[in-house]
Copies of this chain bind each other. A is one copy, B any other.
Amino acid sequence: MTVTRTEPAGLPLGDDFHLYDTTLRDGAQREGISYSVADKLAVARLLDELGVGFIEGGWPGALPKDTEFFARAAEGELILKHAALVAFGSTRKAGAKASEDAQVRALLDSRAPVVTLVAKSDRRHIERALRVDVDEACAMVADTVSFLVGEGRRVFLDAEHFFDGYAFDPDTSLRVLEAGYTAGADVVVLCDTNGGQLPLGIADTVREVAARTGFRLGIHCQDDTSCAVANSIAAVQAGATHVQCTANGYGERAGNADLFAVTGNLVTKLGMDVLPTGAEAELTRVSHALAEIANIAPDTHQAYVGSSAFAHKAGLHASAIKVDPLLYNHIDPSSVGNDMRVLVTEMAGRASLELKGRELGVDLAGRPDAVTSVVAKVKELEAEGWSFEAADASLELLLRKEVDGPAEPPFTLESYRVVLDHRGDGEVISEATVKVHVAGERVIATAEGNGPVHALDAALRKALSPSLSWLDSVELADYKVRILPSHPGSDAVTRVLLKSSDGDQEWTTVGVHGSIVEASWLALCDALAHKSSRC
């Protein structure tokens, strides 16, 4: 099969600027991440949809899943609109021929049009970890780049430990860059592999290396000083035209430069069109979808895309926000697909709650008494461990109760019993029985489930679904459990957040109790009451 050199297609800056993602390789080194091949394909599709220019898919030949990923991508399971697919790998072994090195052949066999080769560019690493001299290290780079370029691949060179190496022995580090560039690499990427750099230093070094070499430079930063995003941006301002990131900053140790914050900054602060028109409004959605695939809870405080990134709590700000939201937000949240939420807490004044009411479609402006009693109720519940910041549907039920009076619940509970048996034969059984009153009748139903909450949910559905036609459309979309530590004078309680979906809408409810099962029950009742109020 022939592979031709590929530039990323359909990007506003074409090949002039590279937004390069390495979530699938460097990001996968984050503690807790373990992508299946199907996950990897889904990640690549999302990144391509967003309009990233290069997607590094993994290390074929080194990890079986990565080899399979490239094979399935090449066989048509991955059709990219914007991005070029990149295989990552190392140079030939010392003393070997590039064309005969199994690892180098695996890069070719991956059929990826672009290859990023990693090479050590710190003399200490060359001599002590690689155990070769600088001449051989440079030959390994030059030979491998030449061979791959000769085979029609576009090659980038990741200069590992560049900044530390350049500070220790600049000549060696520059020789490694030169070996790669002269042999045909299009970009040499300066890597802060140990993540110890700060932005002013990065900018100085990038400027100096650009002036001394004239090479096209890229940047790859780790977050060990909490400066990965800042370092990446500073490098771009100093002349780098290729920036390597990972989704949500996933990566080893403190992580990598976050693709979403870097992109947000490039677009909104530096005015660079690094994404296709309108794609920046997808940043929040794509970030959350990628967190879902990685099976990591989204960072609520993540810049640009976190659910709290534009959330205001302080009473001071909440009242001023009514004047002009843009005085208090660094950008329009909707430009990155996020939105402004106003949090309900003891700190926020009445203005916050009125604003929240408007957001939820409950008019509180003329009802100061209702606001007072909701504020008091929220404070009281928050002291017991409830939290309405994420549970909009439970808060709406509280608000409506004050404004419109108690609503007719869709059903009432008489009692439930859950029995969990770990039997003598080792089998584990969860069984629940509910006794409820619905549509004028008393109904008893029993069901089994994987665990106590699942069994209880199943029994309740069995009891209610003959009477409540809308019940079948309601599904559990997400379920979160938090154990709140006990405080002096009180026992630990469990807080459950339940996200429900009916296919059109999603809503979140909360329940708090010493027993996780009762807490889940309370959140489940609110979820059904919310849906019932909309029917």
A285 at the interface (CB under 8 A from B): no
Q: Which stretch (A69-77, A367-375, A393-401, A476-484) binds chain B?
A: A476-484
Number of interface residues of A (CB under 8 A): 109
Asked if A311 and B347 make an inter-chain contact with CB atoms under 8 angstroms apart, the answer reads no
Q: Which stretch (A182-190, A223-231, A356-364) binds chain B?
A: A223-231
A275 at the interface (CB under 8 A from B): no
List A308-330 residues whose CB lies under 8 Å from chain B.
308-314, 317, 320, 323-324, 327-330
Asked if A124 and B225 make an inter-chain contact with CB atoms under 8 angstroms apart, the answer reads no
A473 at the interface (CB under 8 A from B): no
A211 at the interface (CB under 8 A from B): no
Asked if B424 and A414 make an inter-chain contact with CB atoms under 8 angstroms apart, the answer reads yes
Asked if B417 and A421 make an inter-chain contact with CB atoms under 8 angstroms apart, the answer reads yes
Asked if A422 and B413 make an inter-chain contact with CB atoms under 8 angstroms apart, the answer reads yes
Cα(A223)–Cα(B28), bound, Å: 25
Cα(A312)–Cα(B30), bound, Å: 9
Q: Which stretch (A1-9, A108-116, A212-220, A512-520) binds chain B?
A: A512-520
Asked if B416 and A422 make an inter-chain contact with CB atoms under 8 angstroms apart, the answer reads yes
A335 at the interface (CB under 8 A from B): no
In the complex where A31-B389, A230-B227 touch, is A514 in contact with B308 (Cβ < 8 A)?
A: no
Cα(A265)–Cα(B312), bound, Å: 29
CB-CB nearest in chain B for A333: B253
Q: Which stretch (A173-181, A197-205, A463-471, A500-508) binds chain B?
A: A197-205
Give the Cβ gap from A40 to chain B, nearest Cβ, in Å.
14
Q: Which stretch (A12-20, A143-151, A298-306) binds chain B?
A: A298-306
Q: Which stretch (A47-55, A92-100, A134-142, A445-453) binds chain B?
A: A445-453
Residues of B close to A223: CB separation below 8 A: 301, 303
A376 at the interface (CB under 8 A from B): no
Cα(A493)–Cα(B125), bound, Å: 43
Give the Cβ gap from A87 to chain B, nearest Cβ, in Å.
16
Give the Cβ gap from A525 to chain B, nearest Cβ, in Å.
11
Residues of B close to A328: CB separation below 8 A: 194
A252 at the interface (CB under 8 A from B): yes
CB-CB nearest in chain B for A428: B518
Cα(A300)–Cα(B255), bound, Å: 10
Residue in B63, B226, B517 whose beta carbon sits within 8 Å of that of A258 in the complex:
B226
A57 at the interface (CB under 8 A from B): no
Residue in B28, B225, B317 whose beta carbon sits within 8 Å of that of A265 in the complex:
B225
Give the Cβ gap from A134 to chain B, nearest Cβ, in Å.
16
Asked if B327 and A128 make an inter-chain contact with CB atoms under 8 angstroms apart, the answer reads yes
Asked if B196 and A199 make an inter-chain contact with CB atoms under 8 angstroms apart, the answer reads no
A195 at the interface (CB under 8 A from B): yes
Asked if B203 and A200 make an inter-chain contact with CB atoms under 8 angstroms apart, the answer reads yes
Residues of B close to A331: CB separation below 8 A: 196
Asked if A32 and B453 make an inter-chain contact with CB atoms under 8 angstroms apart, the answer reads no
Asked if A295 and B485 make an inter-chain contact with CB atoms under 8 angstroms apart, the answer reads yes
Cα(A61)–Cα(B261), bound, Å: 38
Give the Cβ gap from A401 to chain B, nearest Cβ, in Å.
19
Cα(A180)–Cα(B161), bound, Å: 47
Cα(A415)–Cα(B426), bound, Å: 8
A382 at the interface (CB under 8 A from B): yes
CB-CB nearest in chain B for A305: B254
Asked if B451 and A516 make an inter-chain contact with CB atoms under 8 angstroms apart, the answer reads yes
Residues of B close to A253: CB separation below 8 A: 301, 308-312
Cα(A229)–Cα(B481), bound, Å: 31
Residue in B227, B329, B493 whose beta carbon sits within 8 Å of that of A194 in the complex:
B329
A533 at the interface (CB under 8 A from B): no
CB-CB nearest in chain B for A480: B483
A419 at the interface (CB under 8 A from B): yes
A83 at the interface (CB under 8 A from B): no
CB-CB nearest in chain B for A265: B225
Residue in B30, B233, B480, B515 whose beta carbon sits within 8 Å of that of A451 in the complex:
B515
Asked if B198 and A265 make an inter-chain contact with CB atoms under 8 angstroms apart, the answer reads yes
Asked if B347 and A308 make an inter-chain contact with CB atoms under 8 angstroms apart, the answer reads no
In the complex where A312-B252, A480-B483, A515-B420 touch, is A230 in contact with B198 (Cβ < 8 A)?
A: yes
Give the Cβ gap from A96 to chain B, nearest Cβ, in Å.
18
Residues of B close to A292: CB separation below 8 A: 485
Residue in B196, B199, B413 whose beta carbon sits within 8 Å of that of A200 in the complex:
B199
A24 at the interface (CB under 8 A from B): no
Asked if B483 and A302 make an inter-chain contact with CB atoms under 8 angstroms apart, the answer reads no
Q: Mind listing 17 A-B residue pairs with CB under 8 Å?
A: A31-B313, A34-B382, A129-B320, A195-B330, A199-B233, A223-B303, A225-B229, A225-B330, A226-B229, A227-B265, A252-B317, A253-B301, A253-B310, A416-B422, A417-B421, A420-B517, A479-B492
Pairs A-B, 9 closest by C-beta atoms: A230-B230, A196-B330, A450-B514, A451-B515, A226-B261, A226-B303, A226-B229, A199-B199, A418-B420
